[in-house]
Amino acid sequence: MYSLTILAISSFILALLFTPLVRNMARRFRLVDQPDFGRKVHATPIPRIGGVAIAISYVLSCSLLLILNTAGAGIFRDELPRVLALLPAAIVIFATGLWDDLRSLHPWQKILGQLVAAFLAFHAGVQIHFPYTSDWWNFPVTVLWLLLCTNAVNLIDGVDGLAAGVGLFAASTSLFAGLLTGNAALAMVTVPLAGALLGFLRFNFNPATIFLGDSGSLLIGFLLGCFGVFWSQKSATILGMTAPLMALSIPLLDTLLAIARRFLRQQPIFTADRGHIHHRLLDRGLTPRKVALVLYGCCALGAMASLATLHDSLSGLAIIVFCVMTWIGVQHLGYVEFGTARRMFLEGAFRRALNSQIALKTFEDQLHQAVSLEESWALIHSAARDFGFQHVSLRMNGHLFSYSDTVDQLNHWHIRIPISGRDFVELSRPFGPKCHDSLISPFADAIRYTLGAKFPTQQPEPAQALAAQTGD
C-alpha cells in the first residue's frame, strides 16, 4: 500500500508540474487545436499535446518507485521484464498519436500504427485466452479488443475533460479490481495512470486550457485495453472480459453506436459526425461541463457493475442490470437510425423492402433477356403494376404502348423517363404510404438504359403506331 501511495502521489504531482509546461510549449510552437464552430465546441485555439505530460508523469513515477527499497518496489522489479516487453508497443501507439497531433495522419496510417502496437503487445504477453477454444482465436480477439479500446477513448474525446475523466474512472476501477483480487501487479501499473489523469484534469476540465490530443487519448485507450487483459487473465471463465468491458462501457458503447449508425447510413466508418453520445447530450441543451459530469456518473455506475461481477453471487444480477440500464440510456439518446431500423424489423418493412429489391432484380434480368419490344413492354407493364403505378405508357421507335387504370390527375404524381429525343416511358401513381420510393430511381434507370441499349433509336416510319391495351 505504501508503494501504491507513492505512485499515486508522485504521478499526480508530476502531472500538475508538467502539464502547464507542455501547454506553454505547445502554445509557443502553435501546436493548437483550432475551433471549427461545428463538431468542436471550444471557441479559442487550445494546445493539443497533453498526452506528452501524461506519458512523462507515468514513466517518471514508475522510475521513482524503482529506486526505493519497499516491498512494492520489489514486486514492481519482478514485473519489470513484462513491463519492458510492453514498452515498445506503448512507444508505437504514443508516437502514432503524437505524429497525428503534429502532422495529421490519414485514418489508415493511424490504424496501421495501432495494428503494429497491438501485435507488439500480443507478443509481449497481452493475450486474451478463452477456455475450451482453439489458441488461434487469441490473436485476432486480442488485437480487436486493443483496437476497440484505443479508438473508443479517442472518439469520445470531444468535450473538455471527458476522455481524461473516463480514463480516470476506468483506471481506478482496474486499480480497485487489482486490490480486491490480490493482483498487485495490476494495481501497480494502473495507479500511476490514475494519478496522472487526476493531475491532468486540473487543466483539462471545463474550461480546458489543454487537450489530450491523439497522443494522450490513443495511449490511454491502449493502456486501459492492456490492463483489461491483465485483469481478465485471472479469470477462469469465458466471462473474464465482462468486467473490463463494463469499466470501459461509455467509450466502447459510443464507438459501437458510431459504427452501427454509419453502417445504417452507408457512411464511411471513419467519417466524423455530430452523432456521438456527448453531441447528443449537447444538442439536448446540456453545457459541456454538465455533459462531462453526466457521463462521469454513467462511468461510475459501470465501474460499480464491473466490480460487482467479482463476486459470484452478484455477477449475474450485475450483468442483467447493466444491460437494462444501457438499453434505456441508448433509447433516451433518441438515435433516429436505430428507431427506424427497429420499426422496419418489427413492422415487416425490412421484409417488404427485401422482396421489392428481389422483384426489381428479377425485372432487370428479364428485361435484359427480352428479344422484342413487345416482350419488353409486357415486362415493364407487369412490373409497373406490381410497384403500384396505375398508368404506364411506352413510346419507342414509332410504337406506342399504353396501359391506364382510373387516374385522378390531382391525386397522382407522374414520372417521365426519356430514352431518346422522341422516345420515353411515362408512369403515374397515387399519393399514399404504400409507395416503393426507394425503387423508383433504379426502376427508371433499368428501363432507360436497357431499352436504350437493346433498341437504338430509329427514324420513325410515317403514320406508324401500335396501341396495345391490357388489363385484368
Q: How confident is the model at residue 72 (pLDDT cuts 50, 70, 90)?
A: confident
User: Total structural domains in the chain?
Assistant: 2
Per-residue pLDDT reduced to its tens digit, 198-217: 999 999 999 999 999 999 99
Mean pLDDT of 106-123: 95
Residue 250 lies in a domain: no
CB 309 within 8 A of CB 241: no
Average pLDDT rounded to a whole number, residues 389-413: 81
Higher pLDDT, 76 or 168: 168
Is 305 part of any domain? no
| 196 in any annotated domain | yes
Answer whether residue 321 shows pLDDT above 80.
Answer: yes
Q: CA end-to-end span of the chain, whole Å? A: 87
Q: Is residue 358 part of a domain?
A: no
Last residue of a domain, one of 245, 268, 286: 245
SS3 58: helix
Domain interval for residue 65: 2-245
Look at residue 290 and tell me if it is in a domain: no
Cβ neighbours of 327 (radius 10 Å):
10
Residue 464 binned pLDDT confidence (cut-offs 50, 70, 90)? very low
Domain endpoint, select from 202, 224, 245: 245
| 368 within domain boundaries | no
The answer to pTM > 0.85 is: no
Residues 325-373 pLDDT 10s: 999 998 888 888 887 777 777 767 777 777 888 888 898 899 888 888 8
The candidate with the shortest Cα–Cα distance to 443, out of 374, 389, 378, is 389
Angstrom distance (rounded) from CA 383 to CA 103 = 55
Could you write out the DSSP letters of every residue in 215-269?
A: HHHHHHHHHHHHHHHHHHTT--SGGGGHHHHHHTHHHHHHHHHHHHHHHHTT--T
Q: Report the amino acid identity of residue 210.
A: I
> Is 374 part of any domain?
no
Give the integer Cα–Cα distance in Å for 232 and 23.
36
Decide if 427 is inside a domain. Answer: yes
